[in-house]
Structure 1
């Protein structure tokens, strides 16, 4: 008999287990994978972008996506980036800010995983791994006839009983590290609605001959301004990011594209300014009066040479010395480069997505506790919920905050465990 069984030993599951265990709960943490926290291990180039200083807990809609981004305000305000930084400091894990509030471990993501395991050990958390879960059943009253119900969870190590069941199984992204739809299937079992899932923070693809001129630019990166029309709640607005873009053989990637992908609607175009740092029209017309260089060579002041060369190949009027070009041709060139409209045909899918958009509908959860309103004792935390953060540490902060909110709310049973040694 456990007070809580937590399914999923990723960021949210580990942190929830540690916090609940340190409150005095008897906690069992279960995962089907051999290793814990693979997403932590591979994130941030192996250094884990564990939170973001710029997160505004008063305005979660600025950095989070979902049917109701305001849902995460309560949890984020009660466990902030500063709180997780303080935990890192207590464990002596050095960290640094890299870009736009993004914080990384100095040495390795393994330090953060070790910290979470140490926190679990401090709370006496029992961990079964690898361990597969079979049938899960709910009894409205426990064996003593009390009003509090309990969950009977069949595993390949035996059946366990718990008053609370916490689902921290993540989403569908990166199946090669063990992602499954377990959390969604369990939500359906208990009649909870799901918001449609799709890959988020994912590279975009472009098929057909129209992409061939750009496929040769694979590996080229540059800072851009990228925007798309996005549906946010009941209205549409223009979302814009200033980040680096990366050309790939199949399409576009890099932080700019990953960010906009969470807002992009299939069938709609992206607008990209490839030279956001300058007024390209004014610069080209000014260069015409003083230079005899080829237009492509002039463009190299503001664009990578490979991109400039590829771009001028699209029109014979751009393949000449700039002083021999018409003003109209230069204006058209500047407009095309500063307002490049291109429509993706798809994404690289869950295999390359960093997160999953959609998930368990927040209408069915308490924003204070993460407990299901219609199913007592059942909680959902982290990525499995319909809350998705921007690139840059926001998703990890949601994992910590939702886990903390849940752990603080889990009730402690006054019953004795069936057995003391379960491993």
Structure 2
């Protein structure tokens, strides 16, 4: 069979690339390792699929080259994503902070759009197709893609190859470093990779305190020396999770500390003073329970004299309260790793790719898109927007 390109990976980037290529009259084959398309799409957002973010800008992405994603995001905007899905019957509903979900709340509806379009456009899909190698013939200037298709080795020769096989998170869904290995095989640099949007673990003497609070969620501001986020944090048996923690994890490196403001909308010193003005007869624990659960308030007793009447609390104790409530310092031991990470940070170096085409500068006809590239979005639909945009951009140059 003759194809204009082989797309390796049937996730968000690969699917969008194949569909957009079809609109341009280009015939591609999608090779997907799993027995179904869009495995990661199907579990995203708790099975609801937060497919873009209304407020996505290049500032919401992490990369060694912060400007690299600009060209792709300008070619395929959030508006383009919304129109694309609306044309296929999926209307979005905004949840928190610009996160857009299908009104059906079913991720399978997003995957169904691509399955339908691929069939309509005549694009070929090979499931249970694990690619073994990608080589380039210097004489014919074409690529040879060898893959195991349901237990049988097959080979395609093609002028162009799209690497859209994702990153390392969630190995049970078929995640691997294959795109990174192919990049290295063709002499491309790969930046350091790490789990991102991932829960953080706590060990040592503080581990028991965190574990005792498992299940408690607190709206907080979490920050480090680079950035801050205001969303819920969630205490767990092994440390910290929740949206704010997942966000900061993408900017965290082992050995670093993070700080947490447990009451970002108010100041504990002012609340104490207001109680004093009313006579200060209440206990500190009663004041804290106006803002936290009893379980969390009791846990703060490890650091604060919560059974003291507010009238008897001195200046030094108020300073300690401010430290504990507004600048709670945590030094995570590590993260929960790729199995619990939403995405991978790092990947194929942006120095190696054309920002306008996503084609390898050193190897004509070889493209990289989606998660395997050193472009990592925030939590909340940003990584899908990058996947759609990069898939669209690549399709224009096949």
Bin of the TM-score, shorter chain as denominator length: over 0.9
The CA distance in 1 between the partners of 2:147 and 2:166, in whole Å, is 19
Q: Structure 1 residue runs of 4+, over 6 Å off?
A: none
CA contact (8 A) 2:131 2:145 kept: yes
Give how far 1:282 is off: 1.4
Give how far 1:333 is off: 1.4
CA deviations 1:294-330 (Å, max 9, x no partner) are 2111111122222111102334x44322223323213
Match of 1:298 in 2: 287
CA deviations 1:349-381 (Å, max 9, x no partner) are 001000000000010101111110001110000
* TM, length-normalised to structure 1: 0.90
Residue pairs, 1:4-403, within 5 angstroms: 4-56=5-57, 60=58, 62-107=59-104, 108-142=106-140, 149-157=141-149, 158-229=154-225, 238-289=226-277, 290-315=279-304, 317-403=305-391
Q: Give the alignment's Cα RMSD to 1 decimal.
A: 1.3
The CA distance in 2 between the partners of 1:120 and 1:22, in whole Å, is 10
SS for the counterpart of 2:129 is coil
CA deviations 1:120-162 (Å, max 9, x no partner) are 12321101111122232211242xxxxxx21111123421111
- Greater Cα offset, 274-283 or 150-159: 150-159
Unaligned runs of 5+ in 1: 143-148, 230-237, 411-423
CA contact (8 A) 2:210 2:238 kept: no
CA contact (8 A) 2:18 2:395 kept: yes
SS for the counterpart of 1:71 is coil
* TM, length-normalised to structure 2: 0.95
SS for the counterpart of 2:67 is helix
SS for the counterpart of 1:42 is helix
Number of matched pairs:
391
Unaligned runs of 5+ in 2: none
CA contact (8 A) 2:275 2:282 kept: no
